[in-house]
Structure 1
Amino acid sequence: MTGTVVTGLGVIAPNGIGTEEFWAATLAGKSGIGVIQRFDASGYPVRVGGEVLAFDADAHLPKRLMPQTDRMTQYALAAADWALTDAGLVPTDLDEYGLGVLTAGGCGGFEFGQREMQKLWGTGPERVSAYQSFAWFYAVNTGQISIRHGMRGHSSVFVSEQAGALDAAAHTARLLRKGELSAALTGGFEASICPWGLVAQLLSGFLSTVPDPGVAYLPFDAAAAGYVPGEGGALMVVEREDTALRRGAARIYGRIVGHASTFDPRPGSGRPPGLARAIREALREARINAADVDVVFADALGVPALDRAEAEALVQVFGPSAVPVTAPKTLTGRLYAGGAALDAATALLCIRDSVIPPTVGTSSLAPGLDIDLVLDAPRETPVRNALVIARGAGGFNAAMVLQRYG
């Protein structure tokens, strides 16, 4: 996917509001995971989460948007503003039909929907907001961003859970490469830590019930007991390289050079999982070898059997402990459709600053996991090629190669 570059980032995460605040917190090992504060979760088996508590929507968005948007969309709208500012891209300076918005969505506006259902059963249907018709929808972030910025080109949403943001970014790059777009916003956001949202998440059986936030989410560790749910995400401005150079983009974080997605076979089929194949195909499209990868951002589910499957896929492709692996999401929790978007943004910052953030919390690898997991402290090393991998509930796999520009 040569010729597509990332020129702007917008991040909202449990451990930092804004790209640089998030990045500084990540390198310092500052966690955004804690006991859930937005509601009383004492009656739930899961009591910790990665909440975004410092974001003030009123300070960043027009008041007219507040009654029609879920917190998820408020995060996405603010991050879109920041990403465009970071890129120095003014949508009105370009052809509106050459500007797209492609996001990932999975949970949708859970909190908004819960509130309107409470109105329905508590006070009657006449009190339910007309905005409920779209505020809950997993495609609403794409629509609201497109309307706010007049970006009328190709717009869509990808619903493959944690893998979705990589699929969205890859399709963005394809559209840019084909000339159907000149620039686009892509990424994902979620905000489903609310009573109804948490109930829906419990059904997977993969959430950690450990009550101590410091040890609740330990991927690849002998004490791994599931993952912690989180909220937030990231958006990227992705452009055709010629567009970015022509308008004098202030910075280029990197290129999107390879991607692949696969789907796992049904359990009991006897066929292997598809993650290793997705990684190989992404490397093939990027025209690099396994030895050229400088860091892997792991999916890191925190479920022992699935951690082992991911580690085995990495060993199949790279060999035992042959490439540094990291999972900075231990500081935020898993953000579903926002998770891979945040990992991609983190990988670009890793490339920019030549430093790999650590997997905070995990202290020792489970027996038999032959991966070089970056622990304890950031690892300073030149990074040219970063691989981001993600798995979504139901069997989705995605892998993306991001590369240093120049």
Structure 2
Amino acid sequence: MTGLLVTGIGVVAPTGIGVEAHWEAMLRGEPAIRPIEGFDPTSYGISLAGQVRDFDVDEHVATQLKVQTDRWTWMSLAAATLAAADARYEQPEDVYATSVFLASGSGGNEFSQHEIQGLWAKGPRSVGAYQSIAWFYAASTGQISIRDGYKGPSGVVVSEGAGGLDSIGWARRVARRGTPAVLVGGTEAGLCPYALLCQATSGRLSTATRPEEAYLPFDRRANGHVVGEGGAILLLEEPGAARARGAEKVWGEVAGYGATHDAHHHEDPAPDATQYARAIRLALADARVSPDEVDLVVADGAGTPELDALELQAIGAVFGDRRTPVPVTAPSSWTGRLMAGGSALAVATALLAARDGIVPGTAFLEQPIEAPGVDLVRDTRVQDVSTVVVLARGAGGFNSALVLRRTPGEART
């Protein structure tokens, strides 16, 4: 069965606003990891993050909606608008023909912090009514659905970093039940004191003060990851429905999906990569694609020695018997880890790589760890990319894999 088609992409990320701005920054090799702005993070021992700059909420969100929502929802609203515009998608007469199924990891952090500060400083009457909805992890899904009139079956996936891929898995279920178009992906905005503290307790954040030393997936110097904000929202359509409305652009096809759980410990990773490798195999089997047919793997890239080793173990277990080593890159190294928004942005990046035949390298990968059967991409390279596997992991043991296929006629030279 033909998979869902990606017909629109909206990006709000540290690398830029809009899909082409993001891609141009990636190809220029411009790290978007910089000193944290907006508050002093010194007491947290963390100094760097991937922040979305030049995001003017008033350009994307109506004033009455702005005061009801958090920054992460502002970004989702903007990305949803950009995705629909990219696809030239207009709400059909059937309001139930479009669904919104996004991912979320942490909800409305900044809005909640403001209300909590008001509670402790001034008392209960200082807390506004919108607190009850602005923090909620389903807020972005709900607000997009309400604003744009998308009344198809909708929901939210909460599997942390794997959520962006898992939202696509859920979209396929929704489409099989008769809804022809689904908005997927997600954004995050976890860069306020409260949210940063929550993430710092994991012990996996880099304390480096220089971007070139901070977030180094698959490097011998890896010392943790850097937090980022933003993400991507994509419009997926059933092929027949896309053709019927005259869709002019197709970014690619969702060919396969697989997900597993380590079932080990909510804080410590499983001692081996068995379930991670199984998720990849499930996705390949679903797509009816062999390991030899994969042109590129877009890795999760946790940036800690233990998790990086486990990911390469999983990739090696699946692709190690290929005739040639499989190219592997970690584009999140340029932006920081965006939680649920990161895997959605990785899908957008993979589709851009397939469109242009260009693979972005992993930032500052100077001392790659040993990885038999794996070709770690250090520098941007020109390469034909037809089939891509995107990987993602979520805190707590979530593993997800997605197979994307470039549609015929979309190749570039």
Shorter-chain-normalised TM-score: which range? over 0.9
Aligned-residue offset at 1:158: 0.4
What CA deviation, in whole Å up to 9, does each residue of 1:263-310 have, x standing for no partner? 113169877531100001100000010001000000000010110110
User: 2:167: which partner in 1?
Assistant: 168
User: 1:361: which partner in 2?
Assistant: 364
| Alpha-carbon distance between aligned partners in 2 of 1:350 and 1:323, rounded to the nearest angstrom | 15
CA-based RMSD of the aligned residues comes to 1.5
| Alpha-carbon distance between aligned partners in 1 of 2:272 and 2:330, rounded to the nearest angstrom | 27
Aligned-residue offset at 1:174: 2.6
| Alpha-carbon distance between aligned partners in 1 of 2:224 and 2:271, rounded to the nearest angstrom | 25
- Go from structure 1 to structure 2 and tell me whether the alpha carbon gap of 1:96 and 1:325 turns closer, same or farther (over 3 Å shift): same
**Is the contact between residue 273 and residue 311 of structure 2 (CA under 8 Å) also seen in structure 1?**
no
| Structure 1 letter corresponding to 2:338 | L
User: 2:397: which partner in 1?
Assistant: 395
| Structure 2 letter corresponding to 1:25 | A
Is the counterpart of residue 326 in structure 1 residue 329 in structure 2? yes
- Go from structure 1 to structure 2 and tell me whether the alpha carbon gap of 1:3 and 1:395 turns closer, same or farther (over 3 Å shift): closer
| Alpha-carbon distance between aligned partners in 2 of 1:386 and 1:79, rounded to the nearest angstrom | 23
Is the counterpart of residue 380 in structure 1 residue 378 in structure 2? no
| Alpha-carbon distance between aligned partners in 1 of 2:244 and 2:107, rounded to the nearest angstrom | 37
**Is the contact between residue 44 and residue 200 of structure 2 (CA under 8 Å) also seen in structure 1?**
no
User: 2:155: which partner in 1?
Assistant: 156
Is the counterpart of residue 60 in structure 1 residue 39 in structure 2? no
User: 1:335: which partner in 2?
Assistant: 338
Say which SS state the counterpart of residue 43 (structure 1) adopts. Answer: helix
What percentage of aligned pairs have identical amino acids? 48
| Structure 2 letter corresponding to 1:23 | W
User: 2:132: which partner in 1?
Assistant: 133
What CA deviation, in whole Å up to 9, does each residue of 1:12-39 have, x standing for no partner? 1112111100000011111110110121
| Alpha-carbon distance between aligned partners in 2 of 1:368 and 1:238, rounded to the nearest angstrom | 35
Is the counterpart of residue 24 in structure 1 residue 24 in structure 2? yes
| Structure 2 letter corresponding to 1:38 | G
| Structure 2 letter corresponding to 1:171 | W
User: 1:40: which partner in 2?
Assistant: 40
**Is the contact between residue 69 and residue 112 of structure 1 (CA under 8 Å) also seen in structure 2?**
yes
| Alpha-carbon distance between aligned partners in 2 of 1:62 and 1:300, rounded to the nearest angstrom | 36
- Go from structure 1 to structure 2 and tell me whether the alpha carbon gap of 1:94 and 1:369 turns closer, same or farther (over 3 Å shift): farther
Say which SS state the counterpart of residue 310 (structure 1) adopts. Answer: helix
**Pairs within 5 Å for 1:204-353:** 204-266=202-264, 273-319=274-320, 322-353=325-356
Size of the aligned set, in residue pairs, is 403
| Alpha-carbon distance between aligned partners in 2 of 1:216 and 1:135, rounded to the nearest angstrom | 32
| Structure 2 letter corresponding to 1:186 | V
| Alpha-carbon distance between aligned partners in 1 of 2:270 and 2:215, rounded to the nearest angstrom | 30
| Alpha-carbon distance between aligned partners in 2 of 1:138 and 1:341, rounded to the nearest angstrom | 16
Q: Could you list the runs of 4 or more consecutive aligned residues of structure 1 that deviate by over 6 angstroms after TM superposition? A: 268-271
Aligned-residue offset at 1:368: 5.1
**Is the contact between residue 320 and residue 372 of structure 2 (CA under 8 Å) also seen in structure 1?**
no
**Is the contact between residue 273 and residue 313 of structure 2 (CA under 8 Å) also seen in structure 1?**
no
| Alpha-carbon distance between aligned partners in 2 of 1:391 and 1:55, rounded to the nearest angstrom | 28
What CA deviation, in whole Å up to 9, does each residue of 1:79-118 have, x standing for no partner? 1011001101101x24111210000001101111000001
Using the TM superposition, name which of 364-373 and 158-167 deviates more.
364-373
| Structure 1 letter corresponding to 2:150 | M
Say which SS state the counterpart of residue 237 (structure 1) adopts. Answer: strand
| Alpha-carbon distance between aligned partners in 2 of 1:131 and 1:287, rounded to the nearest angstrom | 47
Say which SS state the counterpart of residue 201 (structure 1) adopts. Answer: helix
**Is the contact between residue 222 and residue 367 of structure 1 (CA under 8 Å) also seen in structure 2?**
no
| Structure 2 letter corresponding to 1:159 | V
Say which SS state the counterpart of residue 348 (structure 1) adopts. Answer: helix
| Alpha-carbon distance between aligned partners in 1 of 2:131 and 2:174, rounded to the nearest angstrom | 32
| Structure 1 letter corresponding to 2:186 | G
**Is the contact between residue 265 and residue 271 of structure 1 (CA under 8 Å) also seen in structure 2?**
no
| Structure 2 letter corresponding to 1:71 | R
- Go from structure 1 to structure 2 and tell me whether the alpha carbon gap of 1:94 and 1:242 turns closer, same or farther (over 3 Å shift): farther
Aligned-residue offset at 1:126: 1.1
| Structure 2 letter corresponding to 1:342 | L
Aligned-residue offset at 1:179: 4.2
